[in-house]
């Protein structure tokens, strides 16, 4: 999966440590991104729009939608830009890994259905697209805190923490073993 990410980044002219714009990646693949508000003129009811943007905005983030052989992404524009970026990267993870559309999205009980393995793969891809291993390692060894990582890569502090945790452990172990590098203990803020 990391090789796929590196290839995608290279196609966009990015190094393994450059920030990535998931909207640019979607565009490069011909995948339009629409907000749910864009669909009000296409049959989405004002009640559904209100439910997902005001009433229960946490209930739904984004979806990769098949239209024949084409794909589009619909996102919940009521979320913060950092959250939307991770949502788009997640949906692009499904696309890049060619996950099939062989399951219903909602079951008979109207609860969301998903394939846990595919969701974990898409989550991993989103992390690698937005903060790749090489970037996380460099920032961990340089002692960047979550706030600095989040600002540099356009993600939330929680997303930064998720991507940086393992690399911070590596940096701390290297510092203890070899006595070099800045302390990578800054995990909050």
| C-alpha separations of 125 from 43, 55, 135, 180, 185 in Å | 32, 30, 15, 31, 26
Can you read off the two tokens belonging to residue 185? Answer: 């203990």
Tokens 């098949």 locate to 66
Tokens 């190094």 locate to 15
On average, the pLDDT of the chain sits at 87
The confidence score (pLDDT) of residue 113 equals 58
**Model confidence, pTM:** 0.83
Query: Between residues 51 and 121, which one has the greater pLDDT?
Result: 121
Q: Is residue 111 pLDDT above 50, yes or no? A: no
Residue 182 Rama label (left phi>0; alpha psi -120 to 50; beta)? beta
Q: Determine the Cα–Cα distance for residues 168 and 93; give it in Å rounded to an integer.
A: 25
Tokens 């692009």 locate to 92
Contacts of 96 (CB under 8 A, 6+ apart): 4, 5, 8, 125
**Buried b vs exposed e over 134-168: b needs ≥16 C-beta within 10 Å?**
bbbbebbbebbbbebbbeebbbbbebbbbbbeebb
- Hey, is 56 helix, strand or coil? coil
Q: Render pLDDT for 163-175 as a digit per residue (tens, 0 to 9).
A: 999 999 999 998 8
CATH of 2-130, one of 3.30.60, 3.40.50, 1.10.10, 1.10.1200: 1.10.10
Q: Render pLDDT for 31-40 as a digit per residue (tens, 0 to 9).
A: 999 998 887 7
* Domain locations in the chain as residue ranges: 2-130, 132-189
């Amino acid at each position: 999966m990391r090789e796929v990410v590196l290839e995608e980044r290279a196609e966009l002219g990015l190094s393994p440590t450059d920030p990535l714009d998931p909207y640019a990646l979607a565009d490069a693949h011909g995948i339009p991104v629409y907000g749910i508000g864009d669909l009000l003129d296409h049959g989405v009811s004002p009640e559904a729009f209100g439910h997902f943007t005001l009433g229960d905005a946490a209930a739904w983030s984004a979806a990769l939608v098949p239209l024949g052989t084409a794909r589009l992404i619909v996102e919940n524009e009521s979320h913060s830009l950092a959250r939307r970026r991770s949502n788009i990267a997640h949906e692009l993870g499904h696309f890049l890994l060619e996950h099939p559309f062989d399951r219903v999205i909602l079951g008979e009980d109207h609860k969301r259905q998903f394939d846990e393995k595919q969701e974990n793969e898409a989550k991993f891809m989103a992390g690698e697209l937005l903060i790749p291993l090489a970037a996380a390692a460099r920032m961990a060894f340089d002692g960047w805190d979550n706030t600095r990582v989040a600002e540099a890569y356009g993600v939330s502090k929680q997303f930064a923490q998720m991507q940086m945790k393992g690399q911070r452990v590596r940096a701390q172990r290297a510092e203890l073993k070899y006595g070099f590098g800045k302390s990578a203990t800054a995990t909050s803020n």
